[in-house]
Amino acid sequence: MRYLPKSPSDREAMLREIGARSIDDLFSHIPAEYRLNRDLKVPRQMAEAEIVEYFRERGAGTAADHASFLGAGVYQHYRPVVIDALVSRGEFFTAYTPYQAEIAQGTLQSIFEFQTMICELTGMEVANASMYDGSTAVPEAAMMAARITGRHAAVVARTVHPEYREVLATYVQHDGMKVNEAGYGENGRVDAGAVERAVSDETACVVIQSPNFFGTIEDVSAIAEIAHRKGALLVVVIAEAVSLGIVRPPAEADIVAMEAQSFGVPAGFGGPFCGVLATRERYVRQMPGRLVGETRDRHGRRGFCLTLSTREQHIRREKATSNICTNQALVALMATIFLSVYGREGLKELATHNLAKAAYAAGEFGKRAKVLFDGAPRFHEFVVATEEDPHELNRRLLEKKIVGGFPLKKFYPELGNASLWCCTEQTKRESIDAAVEAVRA
Amino acid sequence: MSGARKATTHVTQNEGLIFEKSSPGKAAWKLPPLDVPPVDAEKLLGAARRSDLGHMPEVSEIEIIRHFTRLSTWNYGVDTGLYPLGSCTMKYNARVNEFVARLRGLAEAHPYQPQRLSQGALRILKTLADCLLEITGMEAITLQPAAGAHGELTGILMVRAFLEAQGNPRKKVLIPDSAHGTNPATAAICGYAVENLKSNAAGMVDVSALERQMNEDVAALMLTNPNTLGVFEQEIHKIADILHAKGGLLYMDGANMNALVGKTRPGDFNVDVMHLNLHKTFSTPHGGGGPGSGPVACKRKLEPFLPLPVVKENADGSLEFDYDRPKSIGRVRAFYGNFGMHVRALAYILANGPDGLRQTTEDAVLNANYIRKRLEGVYELPYKTPTMHEVVFSDRKQAAKGVKTGDIAKRLIDYGFHPYTTAFPLIVPGALMIEPTESESKEELDLFIEAMQAIADEAEREPQIILDAPHTTRVSRLDEVQAARKPVLRWRPAMREAAD
């Protein structure tokens, strides 16, 4: 076994030292009837060449060589090669949670940088060192709002990613939190009137997403005003982080629940991604997840360590803010490197390219089909309603090696043949033109 | 000091924060020319337009490479040396795993791409699921949970849904006092009261106490096996029987499966539901704290409650996601879980095969027992029960000289090792929890043992050297009290001057 560094004689010597006759002596306290006396029925040991070939074959015949208009919570941005070059350093990816600060300053400092960048981009004062993903950050934010307000209901916009809403429902099903949904208006924004009607003295938080699932940018301050007037917190979900390069940050939010996948994390068939919570300083003790703080060592030198761990499960056990332990540290590092590459100006230019591609595409689609929700600004996703079933259109596009938009009827049956299209800086004009061409006018 | 042949200092560069390198006009990016007409963002976005990104850095590519490379040299990883962090299973991370996870067709697959273009990815999920079912002896599985604690949440929600379907979700979950903190936190989120279960003198579940505590209000026992002392619960069959007799379920925290793979199967000893930590047992990297992956395996009776979606095989051999599961607890995460970790775990299983998986377990247990034998007497061994993959000592002897487990841990850094887990499990005051894993050679173990012996010796003769440790690191003994009292959780421009 090429991963095991002991020779048979090493094993012999160690058993002798222990005073055991054979390795089985070390397992003899497992009751005999439960000892497995046969080989596991898993594939035989493979050579490295076979493993590579096995996965190459599984990876073939996928959409990798297609142009794609899929977004819907997973965005296909270019990943600068320095990201993998750096996260492949063993000191980063083979390290554990930085409990021993002296030999984990690399991880700790990079997390501190991540926290800072997230604050700069979201307009929040503190950010944690990551959650599992955007979808699980949402229930964590709602439960956090409940702790802060002492209230137990949430109003959630139907324009929040449908799968995020499903995860929220799963998480809160046993803690008595009532979740009411608020619909959307003709401009694709959450219906402010519906939010107004749904919010009560029991509402801990209003949850909206911006840009929302349709790609529409919400009127964050208007919704904040409604929530705050009734003493509820505003949770703003961000599923497309690159939007922060050109879209005003949700500064009126009390909690931002974000998915940072767009910042240099591969689509990876849905994971691993990188959730983040960011909030106001005064709420930090109610925020779950890991935090890194700056401090001094015994010689007065600047250094970093994990802090405020009295919120966490290993200290507080059943009274913790959350059960999260392992987070997404390496993915957060990818995001930090991505953000270092693009930085203050690059992120703006990147976001502007996304905006331009989608504006062009929506304009072209508009010549052959109906682009819905035109009355509010959007970032790089838009909804197209076609005469024919979008699955039919997508089947034709596949023959041209194009993966079309995401048919919405699965989550929004009322939208009929509408589908959600996404353009990023990676989308080529010729693909847009080819896709539009395929729409039956 | 005898361990000195391991410990050396090395050159580390000073390195400020990335923000402190920033100056306007520096850039590390270049976008292709825009092939569509440019837009007026002001016009498109109106009031929603952002003009300024605040203090985001402006740096060049070489600065980024140097910055993160230098930071990396301040870290200790499994690649650096023995990482005996108990209960965390810091084993070798095979490079081929990283390579295959980055193959284009897998790394760039979109979760909503058409099912017929996803057959390869689905096949990976199905094959891994089948392997894990065989390894655990369970009957159904979800790969969706993103980490162990997320798996616990999923598993306990399933327990609750199962009991609810029988008319009563029950009120509480029993958790041994030696359990991971995630267990009680999980039970609380699922609406259960937590009831502590005392360990007996052997460090195992006190079966007679369990018998007294078990009643029809108890939904489940969350048991780590082997437990956090590294001890196999020998009376596991009785424990399961006691639970089952009163209609409760046995949940197993699979954090320590590295001690069992290929040797015994939780399904065979009557566990009802369990999670696995792919980042522990199956060698997906810990990454400085994640990403992990925490699949949940269960017995047939719990299958209807698995989270959505589940992979199913059609009659023609094609695979698809099944969403039509009315009894499901719902969705626990968007999409299908940490697929990149599933790829790595399957690559690990394929590289090992049945013989390699068994040998891995045997070597992990051999290594822990070897350390136990050679350090027993040097450090107090509070529980004499047979050790599996990890061994827990206490600092009692050294504490008499004013040297505690945390101090010994810091001193171990000077000897060139990552410390063990300190102060856990809670049932051992001043615990030193050591898990070497199978990845260590006899030579590396001997160096570690010598270092531990040398430190014990220092505790007798010159304890101050331990109390001041570590001596060789860039920083030493960070002021954690100050960090928590006045939290500084982000950089601000004013800190640039302060740092100079």
Residues B346-397 have pLDDT tens digits of: 999 999 999 999 999 999 999 999 999 999 999 999 999 999 999 999 999 9
Please determine, for residue B17, whether its predicted confidence score (pLDDT) is greater than 70. Answer: yes
When pLDDT is cut at 50, 70 and 90, the band that residue B134 belongs to is: very high
Mean pLDDT along residues B48-70: 96
CA dist., res. A164 & res. A177, Å (int): 16
A37 touches chain B (CB under 8 A): no
Model pLDDT, residue B14: 87
B34 burial type by CB count under 10 A (0-12 exposed, 13-18 middle, 19+ buried): middle
Spatial CA neighbour of B433 closest among B385, B371, B486, B493: B371
- Closest CB to A271: pick one of B99, B185, B338: B338
CA dist., res. A40 & res. A31, Å (int): 19
Contact of B263 with B294, CB cutoff 8 Å: no
Contact flag A45-B355 (C-beta cutoff 8 Å): yes
Please determine, for residue B499, whether its predicted confidence score (pLDDT) is greater than 60. Answer: no
Please determine, for residue A94, whether its predicted confidence score (pLDDT) is greater than 70. Answer: yes
When pLDDT is cut at 50, 70 and 90, the band that residue A1 belongs to is: confident
Model pLDDT, residue A391: 97
When pLDDT is cut at 50, 70 and 90, the band that residue B10 belongs to is: low
Element (H, E) at A350: helix A329-365
Flag the least confident range among B97-111, B197-211, B263-277, B395-409.
Answer: B197-211
Strand order of the β-sheet with B391-394 is B391-394, B431-434, B421-422
Model pLDDT, residue B203: 87
Closest residue, chain A, to B441 (C-alpha):
A5
More confident: A435 or B2: A435
Q: Measured between alpha carbons, how far is residue B372 from residues B101, B227, B280, B291 in Å?
A: 37, 16, 21, 31
∠ CA B231-B233-B238 to the nearest 5 degrees? 170
Model pLDDT, residue A176: 86
Model pLDDT, residue B1: 43
Model pLDDT, residue B8: 53
Model pLDDT, residue B496: 66
Model pLDDT, residue B385: 93
Residues B18-34 have pLDDT tens digits of: 999 999 999 999 999 99
CA dist., res. A125 & res. B52, Å (int): 17
Model pLDDT, residue B300: 98
Which residues of chain B are within 8 Å of residue A327 when distances are taken between CB atoms? Answer: 147, 289-291
Mean pLDDT along residues B205-231: 95
- Closest CB to B290: pick one of A268, A312, A328: A328
Does residue A125 come out as left (phi exceeding 0), alpha (psi in the -120 to 50 range) or beta?
A: alpha
Token pair, residue A9, equals: 């004689």
When pLDDT is cut at 50, 70 and 90, the band that residue B3 belongs to is: very low
Percentage of chain A beyond pLDDT 70 is 100
* Residue A5 three-state SS: coil
CA dist., res. B352 & res. B283, Å (int): 11
Distance in Å, alpha carbon of B446 to nearest chain A alpha carbon = 11
* Residue A232 three-state SS: coil
Mean pLDDT along residues A162-189: 96
Alpha-carbon dihedral angle through residues A33, A37, A39, A40, given to the nearest 10 degrees: 10
Please determine, for residue B88, whether its predicted confidence score (pLDDT) is greater than 70. Answer: yes
Model pLDDT, residue B77: 97
Model pLDDT, residue B180: 87
Contacting A residues, span 344-383, partner chain B, CB-CB under 8 Å: 344-350, 352-353, 355-357, 359-361, 377
Token pair, residue B151, equals: 């798996």
- Closest CB to B356: pick one of A45, A63, A143: A45
CA dist., res. B188 & res. B238, Å (int): 26
Model pLDDT, residue A238: 98
Spatial CA neighbour of B110 closest among A299, A137, A273: A273
Evaluate the CA torsion angle B159, B160, B162, B166 in order and state its sign. Answer: positive
When pLDDT is cut at 50, 70 and 90, the band that residue A319 belongs to is: confident
Model pLDDT, residue B2: 43
Q: What is the β-pairing status of strands A302-306 and A292-296?
A: antiparallel
Token pair, residue A374, equals: 């035109």
Model pLDDT, residue A279: 98
Residues B248-293 have pLDDT tens digits of: 999 999 999 999 999 999 999 999 999 999 999 999 999 999 999 9
Percentage of chain B beyond pLDDT 70 is 97
Q: Please give the DSSP secondary-structure letter assigned to residue A132.
A: S
Flag the least confident range among A189-203, B200-214, B356-370.
Answer: B200-214
Exposed e or buried b per residue across B170-201, where buried means at least 16 C-beta atoms within 10 angstroms of its C-beta: bebbbbbebbbbbbbbbbbbbbbebbebebee
Mean pLDDT along residues A26-43: 96
Flag the least confident range among A23-32, A188-197, B177-186, B277-286.
Answer: B177-186
Distance in Å, alpha carbon of A65 to nearest chain B alpha carbon = 8
Model pLDDT, residue B458: 98
Contact flag B475-A330 (C-beta cutoff 8 Å): no
Please determine, for residue B66, whether its predicted confidence score (pLDDT) is greater than 80. Answer: yes
Residues A335-393 have pLDDT tens digits of: 999 999 999 999 999 999 999 999 999 999 999 999 999 999 999 999 999 999 999 99
Mean pLDDT along residues A427-440: 97
Q: Read off φ and ψ for residue A290, nearest 5 degrees.
A: -80, 150
